[in-house]
Amino acid sequence: MMRRILTRLANPQLLALVGVLLVNWLLFPNFFRITWQDGRLFGSLIDVLNRGAPVAILAIGMVGVIATKGVDLSVGAVMAMAGAVAATMVVAGYPAPVAVAAALAVGLVCGLWNGFLVAVLDIQPIVATLVLMVAGRGIAQLITEGFIVTFTDPLLIFIGTGSFLGLPMAAVIALVLMILVTLLVRRTAIGLFIEAVGVNRAAASLAGIRSRMLLFLVYGLSGLCAAVAGLIVAGDIRGADANNAGLWLELDAILAVVIGGTSLLGGRFSVPLAVVGALIIQAMNTGILVSGFPPEFNLIVKAALIFLVLIIQSPLASRIVPVRTSAREARS
């Protein structure tokens, strides 16, 4: 039993995460120091969890989409829209729970729209979601009229910066979403159906799987997750920044999913490993920030590390060193 757990932990994603964290520790000896301050945990490791949460949440939604052989480029723009809706509504005097619900509804509707384009109109996902990627940010800018809409609503601020049992709220939300979505896909047949549709949509249809419903589900979930992430980043800066909220984060989310071992060609996927992928990316970002490298090196360092992680995961590497390589074996 113990051995089985150990072998499951010995997958390249977790090894890469540990590796990045160790490098951070070498560059910055206090990296693992965590203190208790003002009723919350405080330290670089906590920053990784907190800052990694938005991309992790996007990845939780994105992984299902990618598993169906799709991709959702609109999540960054949906984040901006959700933040803009929530912020303008509380500023206009609506109760915060209503604003939050409205933001989540906007995310869901955006996701279902993407699902409609992909499932019903049969538009290629990359093109279908590009529509909202471009238009969504414009809509967000219209909602905020180009301002950064700042607010003082305690609920919204709590979502972005609060803490629960000492952990940052964002990380708690990400963890809860990860568990819920994992249960949703693995305790039901949905995960299997998603993989079946991703591997072979024609065969799935002949085997009696309603792939349209599934596509609506995964894109809707992706939109919803994007809205949650949008609320978090808005709450974090106490304002909705339509120009910058979620900008390029769709690419980080896709990268997190890929690092998590899910192929862009669809098929096998793992929600927890996608979250680990997001943490790897954030651990790199935080490491670069605390290490004191000049910012000109940020992108190069990041690219080199990602390259390394992908090499470790490549089929070639797994032939040389037999570690478990993909989401395929990582499931029960």
Partner 1 sequence: MSIITKLALAAGLVTALSSGALAQDLTGKVIGFSQIGSESGWRAAETSVTKLQAEERGIDLKFADAQQKQENQIKAIRGFIAQGVDAILIAPVVATGWDDVLTEAKEAEIPVILLDRGIDAPEDLYLTSVASDQVLEGRVAGEWLVNEVAGEECNVVELQGTVGSSPAINRKQGFEEGIASAANITITQSQTGDFTRSKGKEVMEAFLKSSNGGADICAVYAHNDDMAVGAIQAIKDAGLKPGEDILVVSIDAVPDIFTAIAAGEANATVELTPNMAGPAFDALAAYWANGTEPEKFIITESKLYTAADDPAGEYERRKGLGY
Partner 2 sequence: MSSSEYALEARGIVKIFGNHVALDAVDFGLRAGEVHALLGENGAGKSTLIKILTGAYQPDGGTVLAAGAQVHLDNPQQAQAHGIGTVYQEVNLLPNRSVAENLFLGHQPTRFGLVRRRKMEADARLILKRYGLDIDPSSELGAHSVAVQQIVAIARAVELSGKVLILDEPTASLDRNEVERLFEIIRDLKAHGLAIVFITHFLDQVFAIADRVTILRNGKLVETRALDDMTRTDVVRLMLGKDVAFSGATGVEDARPMGEVLLDFANYGRKRSVHPFNLTIHKGEVIGVAGLLGSGRTEMARIMFGADAADEGTVKVAGKPASIARPTDAIGHGFGFCPEDRKAEGIFGDLSVRENIIIALQGKLGWFSALNRDEQMEIAGRFGESMDIRAASLDMPIKLLSGGNQQKVILSRWLATDPAFLILDEPTRGIDVGAHAEIVRTINRLRDEGLALVVISSELDEVVAYSSRIVVMRDREMVAELSGENINPGVIVQAIANHREGPST
Binding of residue 204 to partner 2 (CB under 8 A): yes
Cα–Cα distance for residue pair 46/249, rounded to 1 Å: 20
Binding of residue 322 to partner 2 (CB under 8 A): no
289 binds, among partner 1, partner 2, none (CB under 5 to 8 A by kind): partner 1
Binding of residue 199 to partner 2 (CB under 8 A): yes
Per-position DSSP letters for 140-195, written without gaps between them: HHHHHTTSEEE---HHHHHHHH-EETTEEHHHHHHHHHHHHHHHHHHSSSHHHHHH
- Which whole-number Å values give the CA distances from 140 to 33, 135, 209, 222, in the listed order? 39, 9, 36, 18
Binding of residue 208 to partner 2 (CB under 8 A): yes
Binding of residue 303 to partner 1 (CB under 8 A): no
- Which whole-number Å values give the CA distances from 13 to 10, 71, 286, in the listed order? 8, 21, 18
Question: Do 177 and 60 meet the contact criterion of CB atoms below 8 Å apart?
Answer: yes
Q: Which is nearer to partner 2, 142 or 265 (CB)?
A: 265
Q: Does residue 36 sit in helix, strand or coil? A: strand
Site stretch for partner 1 (CB under 8 A), options 69-77, 209-217, 264-272, 282-290: 282-290
Question: Do 194 and 182 meet the contact criterion of CB atoms below 8 Å apart?
Answer: no
Binding of residue 294 to partner 1 (CB under 8 A): yes
- How many of the other CB atoms lie within 10 Å of CB of 316? 8
Q: Which is nearer to partner 1, 141 or 205 (CB)?
A: 141
The single residue among 7, 9, 30, 307 that binds partner 1, judged by CB under 8 A, is 30
Binding of residue 206 to partner 2 (CB under 8 A): yes
Binding of residue 296 to partner 1 (CB under 8 A): yes
Nearest to 186 by CA among 273, 119, 121, 257: 273
The single residue among 190, 228, 273, 279 that binds partner 2, judged by CB under 8 A, is 190
Shortest spacing between CB 120 and partner 2, in angstroms:
14
The single residue among 9, 22, 32, 210 that binds partner 2, judged by CB under 8 A, is 210
Footprint of partner 1 on 108-167 (CB under 8 A)? 141, 145-148, 150, 161
| Eight-class DSSP state of 321 | S
| Helices (runs of H) and strands (runs of E) counted in the chain | 16, 6
List interacting residues with partner 2 (CB under 8 A): 187-190, 192-193, 195-196, 199-200, 202-210, 267-268, 328, 332
List interacting residues with partner 1 (CB under 8 A): 28, 30, 35, 37-38, 42-44, 47, 51, 141, 145-148, 150, 161, 233, 236-239, 241, 243-245, 247, 285-286, 289-290, 292, 294-296, 298-299
